Amino acid sequence: MNSFAEELESWNGKDTSVLLKFYQAAASNELFCSKLLALIENESYSDAATWLLYHHLGEGHEFRKKERIAFFEKLAYSSNWQTNLHLLQMLQFVPLDERFVDEIEQMLRQSIFSKKPFVRAWAYYGFALLTEVAPEFRIEVRELFDTVYDSETASAKVRIRKARQLMGEQGRPPAV
């Protein structure tokens, strides 16, 4: 098999069957996650690399300790919306580490201002996840949800309701 980067170069950015074929061939490689995590910094590969990592985690696999650390360190490299979306979606599968609260918070704060509704939606959910390791954010996150709920898209509202449930609250904000 060619290098991971060479394989990912053939992806057109849309047809995920190419990525699934690559995944089936490469996922058993012991360095699969490590190699993909290293490619996140390169915009030419970041969308494909994060899509593959998200798919891998969604299949029930987990990052090893060093890979989790690398993942949290890569949160700052989310320069485009698709990479950002995949990183946000992966947060639900990666046990959050309180050592990286600042990195996670920074990414989430930037993402809630995205023009892409799915990015905002997953950022809201990420804030709920963050409160599990940083409970000092609970009041701020609750206020954020109350403030944005009525003006958000349907997809973001769904994610906010799920985030509230994750935080042990009712799905909809209280009526004012």
Residue partners of 152: CB distance under 8 A and separation at least 6: 117, 120, 121, 160
- Other beta carbons within 10 angstroms of residue 14's beta carbon come to 7
Comparing 17 with 54, the larger pLDDT belongs to: 54
Burial class from Cβ neighbours inside 10 Å (0-12, 13-18, 19+) for residue 103 reads: middle
CA distance 104 to 73: 9
pLDDT, average across residues 33-53: 93
Of 114, 90, 81, residue with least CA distance to 36: 90
Q: What is the pLDDT of residue 61?
A: 97
Tell me: pLDDT of 100 over 80.
yes
Q: What is the pLDDT of residue 156?
A: 95
CA distance 79 to 53: 17
Q: What is the pLDDT of residue 145?
A: 96
pLDDT tens across 104-150, in order?
A: 999 999 999 999 999 999 999 999 999 999 999 999 999 999 999 99
CA distance 174 to 176: 6
Tell me: pLDDT of 171 over 90.
no
Of 157, 154, 106, residue with least CA distance to 130: 106
pLDDT confidence tier of residue 23, bands split at 50, 70 and 90:
very high
pLDDT tens across 159-169, in order?
A: 999 999 999 98
Q: What is the pLDDT of residue 175?
A: 54
